[in-house]
Structure 1
Amino acid sequence: MTPRFAAADSRALPLHVIEQLALEDWLAPQTDAVQRWVEANGFTGAQAQALVIPGPDGAPAMALAGYGDAAQRARRRFVLAGAAKALPQGTYRIASGLAGQVLETEALGWLIGGYGFGRYRKRAAEARNLIAPEGVDAARIEAMAAAEWLTRDLINTPAADMGPEELETAARTLAETFGASLETVEGDDLLARNFPMIHTVGRASTRAPRLIDMRWGTAGPKLTLVGKGVCFDTGGLDIKPASSMALMKKDMGGAATVLGLARMIMALGLPVQLRVLIPAVENAIAGNAFRPGDILTSRKGLTVEINNTDAEGRLVLADALALAEEGAPDLIVSMATLTGAARVAVGGDLAPYFTDDEDAAQALAAAGARVADPVWRLPFHDPYELTIEPGVADLDNAPSGGMAGAITAALFLRRFAGDARYIHFDIYAWSAADAPGRTKGGFGQGARAVLEALPALLKL
């Protein structure tokens, strides 16, 4: 199922979006019957309130959605999606109360708010349809919503049904849908093709590791997306406790998010040469698992001392980033559920990112605000480079000390991106509870911000 706006329908119910402080003004020109109905039902315009108003014949004549006040809205995205859940099923058109960018954002929230993960349990059909508001870019909003649904489905699928092979299948299906090419390097071929760290991390699993390489577009600037595809992470021999392992089906959230971003780019036909690289592995435990103290040689030739087998994401990303740089792209963007330190720093709602490019940073911050995809810049702090140099190898995959873990991980990855223009996202990709526009479970972070910023990033 793909999220879509409803076809224009004269029977669609007019929906008035009303701020609390504007309710009195909206009511003033209404009939006595409407005023009494609103008062009797306690509608105040508060967030998440909704009310259907009958006409003289008793049939629904209009609907109201509460929009709260500015202070309340600053604390929550997609307010209209919250009110939509309180409306009866039917088709609606926004008749008043929203305009401009806010209208686009709330229309997007309505579409993505209709998501539900139904692979393992039947969901009751709930059809609250919205006609595309006048003046919005409906195709763009639909593309963003479809990408978000794809990302959520991939993250929410448990690891038993979303291993490296299944992640490849999802990428292949996406490639076939939009006429992209896809090549996979699998198993021991990773060694033959010089992807040694991807092979090392994934070799202990019965599910073969692989590098997924998708390409689309033949003209325009070169954009390469790299997504961490660790389909399940036990922590390896440095095994995680059960409480930390519970959500590790989402450790491929970076891969799911770049596939969502790729879907938007291809659906909108952006004039870029797109490449998507996903190292897909399971970090399992077996007799041939890599060990603390091992020293690995990467595709780039840099050696890496393993001080924690649970810091495996940066290892598989490193080989993929080295390949990305070899293609001389105009921009590399990596996305990964990489460090708990990033969550400590900014929580789960913000998507922290790293870049040395000041113009890119400004473009991303502005873009994220426009499309309700909040991002926050963290620094590539060069003095911390010393902490990732262990002395016995070129790099340390898990520096001791426990400080600045998100930054040291980003610095580690930057070594493999080389001289390429590079942006790295350390995302969480999970909502612990239902919220307007999203359900509990996986969700994408940073993808809409990147899409919105691409014209500035790549001079499109």
Structure 2
Amino acid sequence: MSLTFAPATADALPLHIVDKDGFDGWLSSQSPAIQRWVAASDFKPVTGKTLLVPGTSGTPLLAVAGFGDATSRGRVRFPLAAAAAALPPGTYQLALPLPAGDIETETLGWLLSSYAFDKYKKKSGSAARLVCPPGIDASRVEAIAAAEALTRDLINTPAADMGPAALETAARDLAETHGAQVNVTRGDDLLHQNFPMIHAVGRAAAPNRAPRLIDLTWGNTGSSLTLVGKGVCFDTGGLNLKPGNSMALMKKDMGGAATVLGLAKMIMSLNLGLRLRVLIPAVENAVSGDAFRPGDVLTSRKGLTVEINNTDAEGRLVLADALALASEENPDLLISMATLTGAARVAVGPDLAPYFTDDPVFSSVLEQAAAHVADPVWRLPFWEPYERMIEPDIADLDNAPSGGMAGSITAALFLRRFASDQRYAHFDIYGWNPTAAPARPKGGVGMGARAILAALPKLLPL
């Protein structure tokens, strides 16, 4: 797959993008032969509809692609990518400005339409390549596409090949590419260095899948940004074992880690002027004689005690120790990302990235950026009255309040206890696209990362 723009060549086929409002005017400006061909082909300018128009020699003279109307485009994340998927292989060059939409986002969608996860089976995405339109920073768009591909590849890879050690390797490879540093704390060293909850969750796994905390740092000047990503490489549920159907997609339970690594790749590739830290507690929540148990009380890095009422609510435990470490450094902005609760998926579905923050400036800037780059987010509340739901009788905190109410909110409140007084936001993402769409094949997908990237210049001095 090629997630890059095609070089400009003389044989690039002109591509005319026309929407419903502009179609008649465009058609009337064409030659009679083109008008007859379009009419005979019964072409309509609907999103994703394409047509090759032959010249006198029979070879294609130009291509035309529909761009629909505002309503139909609002239902497709990347309308231009719908055209890319429908066009035959070849190189295309936009002959007209887009009728609407952000050209950088639309060209990103075109590049992403080439993505396919082909590690285990030969397959490919769109083979239609685009010459970078004038005024677009090709290297920026290509860097974002490559970072999204990294996130997708990590999530799509089965747990047998993407355990804690493999996730560490992915972080080290990324660090080597961009001149970052990585420090990793593994196994029983987690206890010695005071990461008891990461150790407790991961200690039941096989020795070659031992728990670890991956700590990547990059940059020496500027504002400090710390990203914490949930790296549960497979989640059986522990002793509160999941039913088989609920375990089927648990290879994606490291989607938070995959997403922050993708965001880190964007930041480093674009050489943003900040100090970046990425913390990934990487574990497998397995079942063995050494598994942590319902009813156990764990003492966290921060000193808060946590009663375990469900071993399947393990993600917040490993994140808590990592957030406590992050808070000790007092970064200018702290963000956690995790495939944390089914409640978030039920509330907003797979398309939206729900997030929590107490900072109205962060929320306002993020939502404007998200709309601009077609990476939708939705704010959920840190609802203070629910604090009592995470406070059991025998410990400071409860990892799984009974009753099943407000599961995403109580999980976010739990995490906020470990973020201290930081400028903090938590994303409870799904990380999986269940239905194929233009530039978004079925499978792992980044959520919220591009919105955060677009928001950073207004959130932190760069």
TM-score, with normalisation over the residues of structure 2? 0.98
* Partner SS state of residue 354, structure 1: strand
Structure 1 contact 363–453 (Cα < 8 Å) conserved: yes
State whether residues 2 and 146 of structure 1, in contact with CA within 8 Å, keep that contact through their aligned partners in structure 2. Answer: no
State the AA in 2 paired with 1:344: V
Q: CA 1:11–1:175 in structure 2 vs 1: closer, same or farther (change >3 Å)? A: same
SS at match of 2:263: helix
Judge conservation of contact 2:190–2:196 (CA < 8 Å) in 1.
yes
C-alpha displacement of 1:123: 2.1
What is the distance in 1 between the residues matched to 2:162 and 2:353? 24
* Structure 1 residue identity aligned to 2:379: R
Residues 153-168 of structure 1 mapped to structure 2, 5 A cutoff: 153-168=153-168
1:2 & 1:56 partners in 2: Cα distance?
Answer: 32
Look up the match of 1:294. 296
Task: Tell me the distance in 2 between the aligned counterparts of 1:315 and 1:429.
Answer: 20
Correspondent of 1:334 among 333, 336, 355: 336
Corresponding residue number in structure 2 for 1:122: 122
- Measure, in 2, the Cα distance between the counterparts of 1:197 and 1:126: 44
Unaligned runs of 5+ in 1: none
Q: Say which of 351, 357, 360 aligns to 2:359.
A: 357
Q: Please name the residue that 2:429 is paired with.
A: 427
Task: Indicate conservation of the 8 Å contact 1:54/1:60, yes or no.
Answer: yes
Q: Return the alpha-carbon distance in structure 2 between the equivalents of residues 71 and 2 of structure 1.
A: 31
Residues 211-290 of structure 1 aligned to structure 2 (within 5 Å): 211-290=213-292
Pairing 1:170-181 to 2, within 5 Å after superposition = 170-181=170-181
Instruction: Note the 1:77-156 alignment, pairs <5 A.
Output: 77-98=77-98, 102-123=102-123, 127-156=127-156
Per-residue deviation at 1:173?
Answer: 0.2
Equivalent-residue separation in structure 2 for 1:136 and 1:391 (angstroms): 58
Q: Per the alignment, do residues 112 and 124 of structure 1 end up closer, same or farther by CA in structure 2, a change over 3 Å counting? A: closer
- Tell me the distance in 2 between the aligned counterparts of 1:370 and 1:125: 25
Secondary structure at 1:53 match in 2: strand
Q: Is the 8 A contact 2:19 2:45 kept in 1?
A: yes
Q: Deviations over 1:254-285 (max 9, x none)?
A: 00000000000000000000000000000000
In 2, distance between residues paired with 1:68 and 1:230? 41
Work out whether residues 202 and 282 of structure 1, in 8 Å CA contact, stay in contact via their aligned partners in 2: yes
How far did 1:113 drift?
1.3
Structure 2 portions without partners, runs of 5+: none
What TM-score comes out, normalization by structure 1 length? 0.98
Match of 1:455 among 451, 454, 457: 457
User: 1:125 deviation in Å?
Assistant: 7.8
Shift of 1:10: 1.8
Which stretch of the first structure deviates more once superposed, 119-128 or 157-166?
Answer: 119-128
User: Which amino acid is the alignment partner of residue 134 of structure 2?
Assistant: E
Contact 1:227–1:278, Cα closer than 8 Å, also in 2: yes
Shift of 1:127: 2.6
Contact persistence 1:209–1:282 (CA under 8 A): yes
CA distance in 2, matches of 1:177, 1:127: 27
Q: Please tell me the root mean square deviation across aligned C-alpha atoms, in Å.
A: 1.1
Query: What CA distance in whole angstroms lies between the structure 2 residues aligned with 1:125 and 1:297?
Result: 48
In the alignment, is the contact (CA less than 8 A) between 1:374 and 1:446 conserved in 2?
A: yes
Counterpart of 1:312 in structure 2: which amino acid?
Answer: E
Shift of 1:9: 1.2
Q: Does 1:322 find its partner at 2:324?
A: yes
Q: 1:255 to 1:38 in 2, by over 3 A?
A: same
The equivalent residue for 1:196 is: 196
CA contact (8 A) 2:218 2:275 kept: yes
Paired-residue identity, %: 67
SS of residue paired to 2:86: coil
Task: Give the corresponding residue for 2:76.
Answer: 76
Paired with 2:198 and 2:41, the residues of 1 have a C-alpha distance of: 60
The whole-number CA distance in structure 1 between the counterparts of 2:447 and 2:125 is: 27
Q: Distance in 2 between matches of 1:126 and 1:28?
A: 31
Structure 1 residue aligned with 2:409: 407
Cα distance in 1 between the residues matched to 2:367 and 2:124 = 38
